C-alpha cells in the first residue's frame, strides 16, 4: 500500500467524491516540489498515490485537491477552487488523509 492514501467524501451528497485531481508536494526550503499526481476513484479514494516501496523522508508536505473541477462537472458553484492540506511526515508509517467536502466548506483529520 502507498505510504499516503486519500479518501474524499462529498458531505452534501453523502457519497464518495470521484474524479478529483490531486497533487502531492514536498516542501524544500521555501519552495514546493511536485512529487505525485492522482485522481480519486469511484469510491473517492487514491490508494496508489506513491509506489508501494516509496518511503517519504521526514518533512513537510501538502496535498492540493482540485475541487473546482469536481463541482463544475455537476454545475455547482463552489467557494473553494482548490483545497490544500499541509502536514508533517515524522515517521515511516502509513498516513491516511481524508477530506470531507462540500461546495462551501471542508474539514480533514489524520485517518488510519
pLDDT in tens, 4-45: 999 999 999 999 999 999 999 999 999 999 999 999 999 999
pLDDT range class, residue 112, cuts 50, 70, 90: confident
Listed in order, strand segments (DSSP E) in the chain are 4-10, 15-16, 21-28, 31-39, 45-46, 59-65, 83-89, 95-102, 105-108
Whole-number average pLDDT of the chain:
96
pLDDT of residue 1: 84
Query: DSSP letter at 71?
Result: H
Per DSSP, the three-state class of 109 is coil
* pLDDT, tens only, 63-101: 999 999 999 999 999 999 999 999 999 999 999 999 999
**How are strands ordered across the β-sheet holding 31-39?**
31-39, 21-28, 59-65, 83-89
pLDDT score at 108 = 97
| pTM, entire model | 0.94
Q: What is the pLDDT of residue 104?
A: 97
What CATH topology corresponds to 4-108? Immunoglobulin-like (2.60.40)
Amino acid at each position: 500500500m502507498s505510504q499516503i492514501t486519500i479518501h474524499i467524501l462529498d458531505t452534501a451528497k453523502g457519497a464518495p467524491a470521484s474524479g478529483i485531481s490531486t497533487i502531492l508536494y514536498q516542501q524544500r526550503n521555501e519552495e514546493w516540489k511536485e512529487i505525485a499526481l492522482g485522481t480519486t476513484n469511484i469510491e473517492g479514494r487514491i490508494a496508489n498515490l506513491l509506489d508501494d516501496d516509496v518511503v517519504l523522508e521526514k518533512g513537510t508536505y501538502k496535498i492540493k485537491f482540485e475541487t473546482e473541477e469536481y463541482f463544475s462537472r455537476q454545475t455547482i458553484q463552489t467557494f473553494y477552487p482548490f483545497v490544500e492540506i499541509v502536514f508533517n511526515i515524522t515517521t515511516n508509517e502509513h498516513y491516511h488523509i481524508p477530506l470531507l467536502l462540500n461546495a462551501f466548506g471542508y474539514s480533514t483529520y489524520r485517518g488510519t
